[in-house]
Amino acid sequence: MSTSRTHPPRPSIVNHGMKRVPISALPFPPPSHSLIHALTPDPHTPTPAAWHAIRAERPSLQRRARLLAPPTHFSYVAPCPVPFPFRIEYLEEDKEGEEEEDAEAAGKRQVAAVERWLVEREALREIPTASAAGELKREDLGHGNDGLKKYVAEKRDEERVLIGLAETGWRDCLPHLDVGDAFELLGEPSLSVPSGQGEDGDARPTPGTAGEEAVAARQELIDILSGNSILMNGEGEDVRGQWAPWSLRYSGHQFGTWAGQLGDGRAISILATPRPDDPETSYELQLKGAGRTPFSRMADGLAVLRSSIREFLCSEAMYALGIPTTRSLSLISLPKLPVERERIESACVLTRVAPSFIRIGSFEALNPPAQLSFLGGGQQQADLDALRILGEWVARRVLKLPDVNWRGDQDVDGPGDAWGTKLVLEVARRNAKMVAGWQAYGFMHGVINTDNVSILGLTIDYGPYAFMDVFDPWHICNHSDQEGRYMYKFQPGMIIYALRALLSALSPLIGAENELGGKAVSPGWADSASKEQVQEWSKRGTELVKDEMERIAEEVCAVEYGRLMHNRLGLRRTDKDDESKLARPLLSLMQDYSLDFHGTFRRLCFFKPSVASSDEGLKAFVDSVLKLTSEPNKLDTVRAQSDWSDWLRKYAARIESERNHWDGEETDVDAARERDAKGANPRFVLRQWVLEEVIKKVETDAESGKRVLAKVLQMACKPHEPWGAEDQEDDSGLDVEAKEERRYCSIGERRFLGFQCSCSS
């Protein structure tokens, strides 16, 4: 018996009859919905055309860490994954005459050598796109895409290996993207493929098997998403028709301390494209680990295979659990590109997808806390009009706030309606709902700095995260978090801390809107305001919103957590005392007896109230739960039996009290409840030991490892399935694959319980 899965058929046509197109032909959002056309770029590169010209002369501008001008929201920057510090190769003429030259002249000569070295590695040579080389007609190009051009570098052509492609992320966010024969290239997902063995059974296409267009679409996808090639358009007088990749500027509080300008130090957004069935919603494609940006500070802008695999898998696992998150698209290894961390590792580029990657720190950057200084960084002065521009665009195009009359709209005279308070409260609702999902499913983020908190309430920036094994509310998943600031128990409070930072940034604008009688502020609204006036607006804005913001965050979090816990317990009716009588006591039992958090919930799916009527049946069920302990030698079995029996009797009575809520479902209420409970409690959990094993397999042998990675991704995307023949008591008769599925669903070795990760990526 086997429970292995295969990829479903992939139709060539998506909704609305739109044909799938190569990545170079994806449609653009209209300028009003496009970040690079709505917000303010670095004045050194004000347009894609100007940026392209500078790259050919002074490419160091986009690689050199620097403070950007106060009005800036983003900077154009091209992917360029190379080791850092740069290994500059000086020519003989660069060294000639050094003894006779003064220091200034020698310095200029060295700078010129650096610029020349970087130019050779900038993607500046145009080559045909897959859409141009194929049979794609002009009318097949997406709206707004007037023909992106593809560029490669003269001296940068590193080996790039497709390691993973997330079918769920692709299907949900980019159904109009043609990935060619990429899935076939990756091979059949399998946990049992021996190391050193690639795809068998001739399932991988041999040369000539896949059509030329499919191969071209797949290769272009790999070239672009690895950072090897770039897509841009700098032609035309109208900048709204131009396009180039970019990185965001933001600041933030890190571990409670103001850190000044941070920004996308290794993230570069390369495209944004609307969903075919929802033109108002666009998705950004962002490369993580594709080289230095102006925000990299002393870092190399790269990511390692280890951390990239972790984020690739967890983004899709979180989505499958119903927790708001950024999504994964691809994982491309650069095996010949060394990266220095605690050890020398190989580089990898992750492509992640989201409607927006704007964070709370994006607002903090434009109105930073007053009178704060720090070592090792800098921070620009506030720019309150840049704050207005960002906030207005986020409120309207990202959050899509309802019931707001916007300045400039038809039939709207004057400045339009106030939006500042609504923005803050909506961000509070979204992030409260997100963190409730974290708590209900035992997810620990590890680094909830304000620059890692999404405006959209998406889980973002997967670093030293972990899912709970043995339940411990005091668990710290990040070994760099010495004080336990971001431990599991404190996560909701840390989200409120981040929301306060957002309110602090927007408070003068909110105060000014209140002074205007509920109208929006206009361009230049604070240009002539005194320092005292801004402080008064800030005080007023905080007073108006703080209490309501925190109340909403706490209430939304509590309601959503309660809803999720009801689902996990297989309950339909909501009683006010369910948390105090059932949920909290259950968690205490898990903690007291060192029980696996997810395993216990999954085991309770099989509990039937009739079991509680029999001492023998109750004892047998409790025994099955206690097998999930990590401390069998320390277990007080008699006490555990008594405590668990008491709780299960209350649970049974609670289930029985709502049988009428299941009327009309089916005659077997117990079966219906079991089905629903299984749908809320994962059989497979992305545990630390699983991640470590997958990483090791891919690092050891990419050919077999990527098939293991694909299978683990498949299990993470369908976590509630009975992997490993769950309903079968023993493993006799199971094939090798099903046995491996069963092992991957276990709690794993004791040495990995409570495993802590580092922030290094």
Using CB atoms within 10 Å of the CB of residue 318, give its burial: 0 to 12 exposed, 13 to 18 middle, 19+ buried: buried
CB 36 within 8 A of CB 243: yes
Is 670 part of the annotated catalytic residue set? no
HSE-CB at 218 with a 13 A cutoff on CA atoms is 20
Q: Which amino acid is at 284?
A: E
Radius of gyration, CA atoms only, the chain: 28
Closest listed residue to residue 500, CA positions, set 334, 335, 364: 364
Residue from 414, 365, 367, 424 nearest 394 by CA:
424
736: nearest Cα among 710, 711, 703: 711
- C-beta of residue 743 within 8 angstroms of C-beta of residue 724: yes
DSSP state of 65: -
The catalytic position among 451, 469, 472, 481 is 451
Q: Output the six-digit token pair for 532.
A: 């005292």
* Residue 415, preceding peptide bond in cis (omega within 30° of 0): no
Q: Which residues, listed in sequence order, are joined to residue 354 by a DSSP beta bridge?
A: 284
Question: What letter represents residue 384's amino acid?
Answer: L
Alpha helices, DSSP H only, in 82-226? Answer: 92-95, 103-119, 130-133, 167-173, 182-186, 212-225
| Residue matched to tokens 């230049």 | 524
Determine the Cα–Cα distance for residues 399 and 628; give it in Å rounded to an integer: 43
* Alpha carbon distance 308, 348 (integer Å): 7
- DSSP-derived letter for residue 629 is B
Over the range 186-219, which residues count as b (16 or more CB within 10 Å of their CB) and which as e?
bbbbbbbbeeeeebeeeebeeeeebeebbbbbbb
User: 294-312: b or e for each residue (b if 16 or more CB lie within 10 Å)?
Assistant: bbbbeebbbbbbbbbbbbb
* Amino acid at position 136, single letter: L
Asked whether the CA dihedral 326, 443, 568, 431 is positive or negative, the reply is: negative
Report the alpha-carbon distance of residue 457 to residue 435 in Å, rounded: 9
Chain centre to alpha carbon of residue 664: 40
Q: Which residue has the tokens 């024969």?
A: 181
Q: DSSP letter at 164? A: E
Q: Which residue has the tokens 């007609």?
A: 137
Alpha-carbon distance 116 to 584, whole Å?
Answer: 64
d(CA 617, CA 376): 64
For 275, phi then psi, to 5°, come to -70, 140
CA–CA separation, 91 and 113 (whole Å): 8
Burial class (CB in 10 A: 0-12, 13-18, 19+), 229: buried
Whole-angstrom Cα distance, residue 446 to residue 459?
12
Amino acid present at 132: A
Question: How many Å apart are CA 549 and CA 116, to the nearest integer?
Answer: 52
Backbone angles phi, psi at 150, to 5 degrees: -110, 135
User: Collapsing DSSP states into helix, strand and coil, what is residue 578?
Assistant: helix
> Which positions are catalytic?
451
